[in-house]
Structure formats: structure tokens, C-alpha cells
């Protein structure tokens, strides 16, 4: 039986075992998936032995960058962000990937991603989403709080160097104007337990063609609820979480899944979060 695991610290309550167990079942595979809580100071001693015993690993904070030194090579996706969230062990060769970007890309309409895109936030996942939008030819507006100005300027420069043809405007999150094809929330505003919070006004939301919220707890944020009340297509973070896991299985074992299978896993995962993650 092949073994797989998620490493991170602290891990706490994770959806990964449920999602990956379901994906293995759908593919007709017998596999073991465990959570391995490894503190940063123990990474050098514990990770090498773990890597020898598994066919694949998922990686979460704070190990997405430190794991790189233990790998033999990096996929282009990992090189793009200098960040690894998926490791494949094929015949002893360890390759690092970033499947977060694939999960994101499969969660949002491609046409909208190449249009006028409003991104709330610029750190962590926001950086990835901004770069993916730039790769797809978007006209980007980055809405931030004043404390994030330096981070936003750095990201703007990075996009300018890699994609000089892309327009990026930085605005205060309280001063957003205009219409957008896609609104992306990459901030924690609206996350459990502060579920009554919304990162932008209803007026801003109503001026957007599509909405994607990276938050998956709650599964329906106030942002998504407002968008849906205006008839706007809105997708929550559970879609990205499941789809980045799907890509990991494609990498590890070459498995493939129908839209119906994936949608059912997303639906069941939403039900678990709504029931147990409060």
C-alpha cells in the first residue's frame, strides 16, 4: 500500500485526510494518508526519513519554502513561486510542485481572469493569484490596506519585471471604483469566527461579474452571500482546496476524475466544514 501524508505545523483540524481519502477511493486505489506535524526545528531530522517512506507529500505552512533544499528538482510551478505544496517521489527522485495555482485556476472562469481583475490583498495566496492573473493577461487592480503598501509595491515590481505588458494599479481598499470581470478575496476578512465581516462594500461587489473568495470556513462567506443576492456567480475556497488536491493525485498516480466526482467531493467537504469546523 502506497503511503502519503501532509506535513506542517501546527496542523490542527485538517480537511486533507478526508479529501485525499475520497480521491483515492474514486480512483479505486488502496492508500494510506496521514497527518505529520513537524516543527521547523525538527524538519532536518524528520523529513528525510519520511520522504523515503512515502510516494507523495502535501506541504503546508511553515514548510513550503524550507522543503525545497531536500528535493532533487522543481516543477515550473514551484519555481514560479519558490514555494512547494506537493512532493512526488518517483523511483527515489523527489520533485516539488505548486498545485495551489492549479486549484485556483480551475476554480475561476478563465475568460474573467483575463479581463479586469480586482484582487483584495497582496500577501501569500494573493501574490500567487495576482501573478496568475498577470499570466492570463488581466488588467489588475490591487486593493490593500495602508500597512500593506510596501508588500504591494514589491509585488507590483515583480509583475512588472515578469509581465511588462500588464497594467497593475494599487488602490486603498476603501477607495475602489469601476466595474470588474472578477473580484478575488485574498484577505482573511470574513473568516471564522468573524463571519459577519466583509472586505468590501455591497456596491463594489455588485459591480463585479464573478467573485472568488479564498476563504473556505465559513463555506459561504458574507462576500459570497452578497454576490449571490445580486445574481453574481460566486465560488468559495473549498473548490480551490479540493482541486489542488486533485492535481496532486494527477501528479502522484496519473489519476483523473470527472466533474461530477469532484463536485460531489466539494459538496461533501462543505457539509463537513459547516458541521464540524465551528
Nearest to residue 244, comparing CAs of 132, 119, 141?
132
Mean pLDDT of the chain: 96
Total structural domains within the chain: 2
Looking at the fold, whether 230 and 112 belong to one and the same domain comes out as yes
Domain region containing 130: 108-235
Task: Name the DSSP letter for residue 218.
Answer: S
Considering the candidates 3, 44, 64, 179, report the single residue annotated as catalytic. 64
Tens digit of each residue's pLDDT (9 = 90 or more) over 19-74:
999 999 999 999 999 999 999 999 999 999 999 999 999 999 999 999 999 999 99
Looking at the fold, whether 120 and 35 belong to one and the same domain comes out as no
Radius of gyration of the chain from Cα atoms? 19
Catalytic site includes residue 21: no
pLDDT of the residue at 278: 65
Q: Which CATH number do you get for residue 76?
A: 3.40.50.10860
Side-chain half-sphere CA neighbours of 146 within 13 A: 0
Per DSSP, helices labelled H in 83-206 are 100-105, 110-113, 125-135, 149-162, 202-206
From residue 12, alpha-carbon distances to 8, 72, 267 in Å are 10, 29, 22
In a domain, 26, yes or no: yes
Would you list the DSSP string of 1-68? -EEEEEEESS--S-SHHHHHHHHHHHTT--EEEEEEE--GGGHHHHHHHHHHH-SEEEE-TT-TTGGG
Tens digit of each residue's pLDDT (9 = 90 or more) over 228-263:
999 999 999 999 999 999 999 999 999 999 999 999
Query: Do the strands 93-97 and 73-74 form a parallel or antiparallel pair, or are they unpaired?
Result: parallel
Amino acid at each position: 500500500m502506497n503511503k502519503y501524508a501532509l506535513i506542517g505545523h501546527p496542523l490542527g483540524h485538517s480537511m486533507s485526510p478526508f479529501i485525499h481519502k475520497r480521491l483515492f477511493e474514486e480512483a479505486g486505489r488502496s492508500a494510506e494518508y496521514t497527518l505529520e506535524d513537524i516543527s521547523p526545528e525538527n524538519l532536518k531530522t524528520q523529513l528525510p526519513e519520511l520522504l523515503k517512506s512515502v510516494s507523495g507529500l502535501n506541504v503546508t505552512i511553515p514548510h513550503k519554502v524550507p522543503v525545497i533544499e531536500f528535493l532533487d528538482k522543481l516543477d515550473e510551478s514551484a519555481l514560479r513561486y519558490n514555494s512547494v505544496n506537493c512532493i512526488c517521489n518517483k523511483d527515489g527522485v523527489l520533485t516539488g510542485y505548486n498545485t495551489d495555482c492549479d486549484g485556483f485556476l480551475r476554480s475561476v472562469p478563465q475568460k474573467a481572469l483575463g479581463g479586469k481583475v480586482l484582487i483584495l490583498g497582496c500577501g501569500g495566496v494573493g501574490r500567487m493569484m495576482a501573478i496568475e492573473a498577470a499570466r492570463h493577461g488581466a488588467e489588475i487592480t490591487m486593493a490593500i490596506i495602508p500597512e500593506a503598501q510596501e508588500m504591494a509595491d514589491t509585488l507590483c515590481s515583480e509583475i512588472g519585471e515578469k509581465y511588462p505588458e500588464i497594467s497593475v494599479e494599487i488602490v486603498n481598499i476603501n477607495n475602489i471604483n469601476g466595474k470588474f470581470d472578477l473580484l478575488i478575496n485574498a484577505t482573511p476578512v470574513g473568516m471564522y469566527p468573524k463571519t459577519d465581516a466583509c472586505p468590501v462594500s455591497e456596491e463594489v461587489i455588485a459591480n463585479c461579474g464573478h467573485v472568488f473568495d479564498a476563504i473556505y470556513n465559513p463555506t459561504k462567506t458574507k462576500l459570497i452571500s452578497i454576490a449571490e443576492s445580486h445574481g453574481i456567480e460566486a465560488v468559495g475556497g473549498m473548490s480551490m482546496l479540493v482541486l489542488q488536491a486533485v492535481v496532486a493525485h494527477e501528479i502522484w498516480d496519473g489519476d483523473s476524475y470527472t466533474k461530477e466526482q469532484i463536485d460531489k467531493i466539494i459538496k461533501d467537504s462543505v457539509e463537513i466544514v459547516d458541521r464540524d469546523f465551528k
